[in-house]
Structure 1
Amino acid sequence: MSAQPYEPEFQQAYNEVVSSLRESTLFEKHPKYEKVLPVVSVPERIIQFRVTWENDKGEQEVAPGFRVQYNSAKGPYKGGLRFHPTVNLSILKFLGFEQIFKNALTGQALGGGKGGLCVDLKGRSNNEIRRICYAFMRELSRHIGQDTDVPAGDIGVGGREVGYLFGAYKSYKNSWEGVLTGKGLNWGGSLIRPEATGYGLVYYTQAMIDYATKGKESFAGKRVAISGSGNVAQFAALKVIELGGTVVSLSDSKGAIISDAGITAEQVQAISEAKINFKSLEQIIGEYSAFAENKVKYLAGARPWVHVGKVDVALPCATQNEVSGEEAKALVAAGVKFVAEGSNMGSTQEAIQVFEGERLSTKSASEPAVWYAPGKASNMGGVAVSGLEMAQNSQRMTWSREQVDQELKKIMVNCFNDSLETAREYSNEDNKDALPSLVKGANLVGFIRVADAMFDQGDVWE
């Protein structure tokens, strides 16, 4: 495939997958798979449309809406909707491309897609957000359905927005169906869905810790740096705290908070409550009593990675490319041993090279190498529970919290084990004592599963 300089995010995601495949022995052992690359990298369909609405001032606004229906070999297109001013086709193609392989890693019947609207919801009333959602769904409803394409939430699209979008779809199509995931519990949603990405991230990281330390260590006593302060970061932080870890940081687009003693569950709950109203961390720590006794340090305009001091685990949970090469080196110098992404493509290629270089370096038994997990594996808990929500909708049933949580944990551990075994099977690395590359393992598992389905269905032929 030729370079796409005008789509840098997509090109980065594509290059990461291709380099993993080419640096393995997959094409050497099974040359037919190389034929899949140029086909799977092109979306089956890209839908772009105009969205217009009336704002609270009575003025007309317009913004471009998108849905990238990338690959349906494994099932209906599945992937979130992002409402954010940075939304463009490159970002949605990168997210959709990642989603293909992430969804395949769940082991469920899910294809890959992504969509969104280039809009800033901050400062808008509930009524205006409702009008935006109805305007967006007016066009999107033509192209989705429970057996065709099942969107979910993403940045800027939380429970409120999913509710409005579902109401709009039901109104336009005169059909109640499981066409969106992340729905309210009272009308088709699944328990654990809000928590799923954050919880799943921690379950995956725990599997990494178990394997690397031969079951001798857990999150207990570990210092954990987390970026972001949205849904993923909040529930990852709460699960880390529950498991005995110390959360030393959170962040948003304006700055970061650092706490050497540890951010508390009460402080995370305060952030959760305030973020619904688009408050910044700087505002939150000044307004909420949870921060009055347990002080935190606020750093304006900063990401946490170079400010966290000694750290054992890093969980990037904000957005793409949020860990640079220099920040990766700072984390290594701070003692990090495990890095797992709660965001999509959270680390730059330079950062990944730092982490992977550390993994391959010779370490003593008492000083294990840094181990890095890519977002398509470590943050796929959200889409995994979305798949479980779709199953519950089809059955017209609601599963218990314990049942969903147990299934989530099983899916995350299976994903880890599958990536581990496949990385070993197709490794051509000289250092056989090094921990297996989870980047290569995840890319290989997802790619092989999708490629096999594409061969079976005639999308690619020998």
Structure 2
Amino acid sequence: MSAYPYEPEFQQAHDEIISSLRDSTLFQNKPEYEKVLPIVAVPERIIQFRVAWENDQGKQEVATGYRVQYNSAKGPYKGGLRFHPTVNLSILKFLGFEQIFKNALTGLDMGGAKGGLCVDLKGRSNNEIRRICYSFMRELSRHIGQDTDVPAGDIGVGGREVGYLFGAYRSFRNSWEGVLTGKGLNWGGSLIRPEATGYGVIYFAQAMIDFATKGKESFEGKRVAISGSGNVAQYAALKVIELGGKVVSLSDSKGCIISETGITSEQVAAIADAKIHFKSLEQIVGEFSAFAENKVQYIAGARPWTHAGKVDIALPCATQNEVSGDEAKALVAAGVKFVAEGSNMGCTPEAIHTFEANRLTASSNDTVWYVGGKASNLGGVLVSGLEMAQNSQRMTWTREAVDQELKRGMINCFNDCISAAQTYSNETNKQTLPSLVKGANLASFIKVADAMFDQGDVY
């Protein structure tokens, strides 16, 4: 029976961690770690509150706001705020639970949290969005601070919303501090922060390619299928193009675009401009000149995985559970070799099983190597941690310095995952590539568990 029958997303994230840990030699070698499981699964604190505001028609609206402060053993709570009509406690618990371990893999001092508001910002004016942000922060400001909890943006909370939230916090608390990350560059933000998650996925994927091919291959000439068209997908696509790869797809909630010749950087720029105004890909393809010269195919109501043709690398960068078991089989049939998530929990359990089963049974030339977002998409929070460091120093680092730290952090994360997977593997065929799913879960769990033991959270 499910332990969390009313929280399916959290149950899925919880089960993935538990499965990886139990399907290893960790508890055989160190049985004391098993005591951590029931403790770390329960948030330290859940804050739920009313957010009321006046809309542009002069009528009052109300929505539910949340902050799940999950674990602070490794540092101040850290994790995004999501403003979206799908926000509920199950999704925020799943995201917060994942954030604990993702943040541990950065190597920085950050705990795990997530929060948000069940609201749709589409069609609302800047003034109304500002009123929503101020109402939300009026309550949240009681529970956060630079040494307590440092939120960031997430789906529906971009630079504009972070600015309003920061202004509200400063007003309510009479304090200018590094309490939010993703801030504007002239008031405490960090260079590379907008690009960080997308770039980080590519740096991690390149480390996978280097390891698997012994440095003989790169993104050069590879066909790369990407889902999503928001911040993560945009910067992942731009970095792939920069490295000589061919981006053959992008998508949104209403459909996908496919390009045999490769989506261009100019098209990505057009998408970025239009998405600020909540335009769909279908509208963008029809309205922007960048798509007039280099035609793409728009497919309504579809994700790209079964339409992209031959695929060397797949990067799910949209939302949770966006690659099904059947779509994973289609990607394997299409020749995919590397799958790295830019989204959180982008692949269903059935899809992960398909990729992992292939890793164990396929010949070396046909192996698919998969990594979940816990490791591959932590670039955003890694640079958020660097933004916190810059705020503490009252300094701004150069673009090159931040990018170098991002790349170093992603490679260190990859190496930690490989090391843990190899140390605690119970797989008999040592010639197969290590499981990055297990490696990420093991490496991050051990870091968090050790901190909890040291501080008396578990005894």
Per-residue CA shift, 1:340-380, capped at 9, x if unaligned?
0000000000000000001001404xx14100011000000
Distance 1:202 1:2 in 2: 36
Q: Tell whether the 8 Å contact from 1:191 to 1:400 is kept in structure 2 after alignment.
A: yes
Deviation at 1:178, TM superposition (A): 0.1
Distance 2:274 2:305 in 1: 24
Deviation at 1:5, TM superposition (A): 1.1
2:45 aligned with 1:45: yes
The corresponding residue for 2:426 is: 428
Distance 1:133 1:281 in 2: 27
Letter in 2 for 1:457: Q
Per-residue CA shift, 1:400-444, capped at 9, x if unaligned?
000000000000000001100110000001221110000000000
2:458 aligned with 1:453: no
The corresponding residue for 1:390 is: 388
Paired residue secondary structure (2:339): strand
Q: RMSD between aligned alpha carbons?
A: 0.7
Distance 2:245 2:5 in 1: 42
Letter in 2 for 1:201: V
The corresponding residue for 1:256 is: 256
Deviation at 1:3, TM superposition (A): 1.2
Distance 1:182 1:357 in 2: 38
Distance 2:102 2:17 in 1: 12
The corresponding residue for 2:439 is: 441
The corresponding residue for 2:197 is: 197
Paired residue secondary structure (1:127): helix
- Count residues with an aligned counterpart: 459
Query: Where does 1:286-297 land on structure 2 (aligned, <5 Å)?
Result: 286-297=286-297
2:275 aligned with 1:275: yes
Letter in 2 for 1:438: L
Deviation at 1:36, TM superposition (A): 0.1
Deviation at 1:2, TM superposition (A): 6.1
Distance 1:165 1:125 in 2: 16
Distance 1:148 1:269 in 2: 37
The corresponding residue for 2:226 is: 226
Percent sequence identity over aligned pairs: 82
Paired residue secondary structure (1:142): coil
The corresponding residue for 2:401 is: 403
Distance 2:257 2:295 in 1: 10
Query: Where does 1:113-152 land on structure 2 (aligned, <5 Å)?
Result: 113-152=113-152
2:165 aligned with 1:162: no
Q: Tell whether the 8 Å contact from 1:250 to 1:256 is kept in structure 2 after alignment.
A: yes
Letter in 2 for 1:44: E
Q: Tell whether the 8 Å contact from 2:222 to 2:246 is kept in structure 1 after alignment.
A: yes
Letter in 1 for 2:21: L
Q: Tell whether the 8 Å contact from 1:51 to 1:136 is kept in structure 2 after alignment.
A: yes
Distance 1:226 1:133 in 2: 31
Paired residue secondary structure (2:314): strand
Q: Tell whether the 8 Å contact from 1:50 to 1:64 is kept in structure 2 after alignment.
A: yes
The corresponding residue for 2:340 is: 340
Letter in 1 for 2:416: D
Q: Tell whether the 8 Å contact from 1:371 to 1:435 is kept in structure 2 after alignment.
A: yes
Distance 2:297 2:138 in 1: 45
Paired residue secondary structure (1:305): helix
Distance 2:416 2:451 in 1: 18
Distance 2:47 2:450 in 1: 26
Distance 1:46 1:2 in 2: 21
Query: Where does 1:26-175 land on structure 2 (aligned, <5 Å)?
Result: 26-175=26-175
Distance 1:193 1:349 in 2: 30
Letter in 1 for 2:186: N
Distance 1:78 1:127 in 2: 28
Per-residue CA shift, 1:267-313, capped at 9, x if unaligned?
00000000001000000011110000000000001000000000000
- Displaced runs of 4 or more, over 2 A: none
The corresponding residue for 1:304 is: 304
Paired residue secondary structure (1:423): helix
The corresponding residue for 1:212 is: 212
Q: Tell whether the 8 Å contact from 2:80 to 2:114 is kept in structure 1 after alignment.
A: yes
TM-score normalised by length of structure 2 = 0.99
Residue segments in structure 1 that go unaligned for 5+ positions in a row: none
